[in-house]
Chains A and B, each alone.
Chain A
């Protein structure tokens, strides 16, 4: 299928020719996000404002061509992959922070603004934006809204949905709406909440109003070192059991530590079996008390060493490794398949055991790095996609891990979304009635199947072929490039 020149002309008129990509080489760059799946778009457009977004959505709908929104393309579930080709709508030109209101502690931002930029500007007013995905240097607020992104610091403060008060959206049918409010309460159905985490299947957020928080007076980060993951996991339960709610509680295992240390030289002990990063914040006296309690819990459960960072630069150094850890895995294997299961904290140790059993069974080494505090696991299976059949095998191993999480009373995804990659597992968790209701929600926003197709909900035919369609371009032959 090739896109009609009429639609291309319309898109060009809407956004200008420099903001429309359609050469095969250019399209190739947009075939992937941060994970395994691939699919080539037929065009990529970069609207500059809400009106242009609306125009693009209308044009595509009229031509019945699929639309897929895209932020920075750091997603880990294939959400920004154009599963049925069509047009990618990128938000890269809509990246302004429109205003920061230090009195109301809110900000209004465009969807393409990188998460980090919001935090940097808020910091000028002594404020910060809580959700801090490890990808925050790159990922966009629009992508965060779509994935209901979390981050290391979401344990005490909650994820994106707890910090976005409202947003302007162009719905799948091209309607312009404001969902939510500026205030904390809104009556009636929470359409705002419905949109957050909808993974770009209901519409495109064009402006996002967020809540900001004052930067805490005192912050202390502990790095506790253990011989193995079991002791570290027990400590997690003990810390939470003691009634502490740390700002962050993160775990990394041996494989991850080695990669992070090698790549980022952040001073981690490369021979440790596991480490916990525990961050406590608030008013000085309280924090000091909590630090004592946390240290006691670590010591009681076999910590071999505890380091304390109080200065901002020391803390940044400790966090640098955690935030770069997943990317650093590229040093030890060409590809990783990153899972995102959630289990009750009480099942942490048991589940980790199962994960390592599956890793051995399939002979894919596993690196673990996760938000231990809320039981959100990120096992990364390491592989090389150039090995014949390895991608299929790694997906199979992933499926087994997901089954383990669901059996433990958990969920498929904590923060990376279902996307394309995990949609076929939805029936593990939901009944046919539930899935049908979700389909209806889509229809209410005007998504008749062409708006970010094949995502979240299992879909019949037509999507399956997209993955790894490496030959598609080659088939077009060299003439396609002149």
Chain B
């Protein structure tokens, strides 16, 4: 007997039991750091899940609030000595909220609709984001900024601040292609961060790796999974698995931390699917982060005279355990001064769609980052995930800081290009 409304996707009892409530994780948790409340800490959230599982309490609105304030940044999981798979527990806890939300809201229904019908459908997403790209580079944007109206536009204002200057989209080819190293292009990433993909391709080419983007791939499903819509996440995972299988790639490179983490865990996601479980594991085993792959290769000299700070993407540092590789790559660039800020590995508050759902907590974390930037005055802020890039755009804009936000691939591309031009 358990108190979960959606039994087939209930948090695993053995996983919950792994938490020995030692409390060692609490200070790594951003929401605990800010609130000082154990109800907003990993140990607290796990204890509530256990209490629901054991039917000590029903799934209430209060429980929902504490779970929904969680960023799913997995900083807690990275420091937990007991190996509690917090990310999985929380995804499944969210799935319970999806199945039987204690407080029903339009927001939830709308969110699900957007995730399923827009983010998860490449064509729809492409059509809807085309005007966004146009707006980003149009005089209208300048006007709007000057008018000060954005401040009163809530989430729209925030999205505007997060929006950089997106270049052309980067989409997989329509032709069938095969090769050893495939690039995952993603959803929003391909539409709004085409420049990052193009930089990625150039940097890889310079290191002697030819990449191609297999057709029929789609969104990785991370946003849906984090939101507890595991059904949709599984649908997208299956599509990607088939697409990459058809490409016969031996390595799948991902340059968005959140997507990489999700794809490395396809095996867990499809564990219960007899047709896909093994294939999911096989594909997951081929997934590598861009920096993870690149660090073992010979690269041309790069030079970029600038003060640079690297900010860990949570799903790279905490979920994939990759934090030295990007720094090694940055450190190899000549004339570039690498500064470490306090809390570089603390979540920036972007966390997928969290910045829209929990604007207050997200803003608090964004401001913490801005304070560090103001203190260290970097010229370049480098990270490895599109959501984080957007959050830093907003951070520097709000705080009036002069700096550029770059993806690691863009940074390396620029450094290599500069050094080939000047002897």
Contact = CB atoms under 8 A, between A and B. Distances in A.
Interface string B3-33: 0000000000010011111111111100000
Contacts of B36: 46, 90, 92-93, 95, 112
A137 B24 contact: yes
Contacts of B26: 72, 138
B343 interface: no
A324 to B, nearest CB: 3
Contacts of A26: 39, 62
Nearest to A94: B36
B39 A29 contact: yes
Contacts of B55: 474
A74 B17 contact: no
A58 to B, nearest CB: 23
Interface string A19-37: 0010111101110111000
A327 B24 contact: yes
A135 interface: yes
A25 B60 contact: yes
B82 A330 contact: yes
Given A25-B48, A473-B56, A34 B22 contact: yes
Nearest to B36: A92
Interface stretch (A201-209, A331-339, A423-431): A331-339
B354 to A, nearest CB: 21
A42 to B, nearest CB: 16
A330 B37 contact: no
Given A29-B44, A29-B47, A137 B27 contact: yes
A263 interface: yes
A25 B62 contact: yes
Contacts of B37: 21, 46, 92
Contacts of A478: 58
Given A25-B63, A32-B47, A330-B18, A473 B57 contact: yes
B38 interface: yes
B62 A137 contact: no
A114 interface: yes
A481 B62 contact: yes
B79 interface: yes
Contacts of B22: 34, 74, 135, 138, 326-327, 330
Chain A, interface size: which category? 35 or more
A220 to B, nearest CB: 25
B155 interface: no
Given A328-B81, A329-B20, A29 B38 contact: yes
A327 B27 contact: no
Contacts of A92: 36-38
Contacts of B58: 478, 481
A25 B66 CA distance: 10
B317 interface: no
A386 B26 CA distance: 25
A87 to B, nearest CB: 15
A429 to B, nearest CB: 28
Interface in A110-146: 112, 114, 116, 135, 137-139
B51 A327 contact: no
Interface in A403-444: none
Q: Which of B24, B38, B62, B81 has the most A CB atoms < 10 Å from its CB?
A: B81
A318 B294 CA distance: 29
B24 A138 contact: yes
Contacts of A21: 37, 39
A32 B51 CA distance: 13
B23 A73 contact: yes
B83 interface: yes
Contacts of B60: 25, 481
B85 to A, nearest CB: 11
B48 A29 contact: yes
Contacts of A93: 36
A24 B52 CA distance: 13
A24 B57 contact: yes
A470 interface: yes
Q: Sort A-B residue pairs by CB-CB distance and give the 7 closest, nearest first.
A: A330-B82, A327-B81, A324-B81, A92-B36, A334-B17, A330-B20, A29-B44
Interface of B: 14, 17-28, 36-39, 43-44, 47-48, 51, 54-58, 60, 62-63, 66, 79-84
Given A138-B25, A334-B14, 17 more contacts: A25-B39, A26-B62, A29-B39, A74-B23, A90-B36, A95-B36, A135-B22, A135-B23, A139-B23, A260-B81, A326-B81, A328-B83, A330-B18, A334-B18, A474-B55, A481-B58, A481-B62
5 contacts: A29-B43, A74-B24, A92-B36, A330-B22, A473-B51
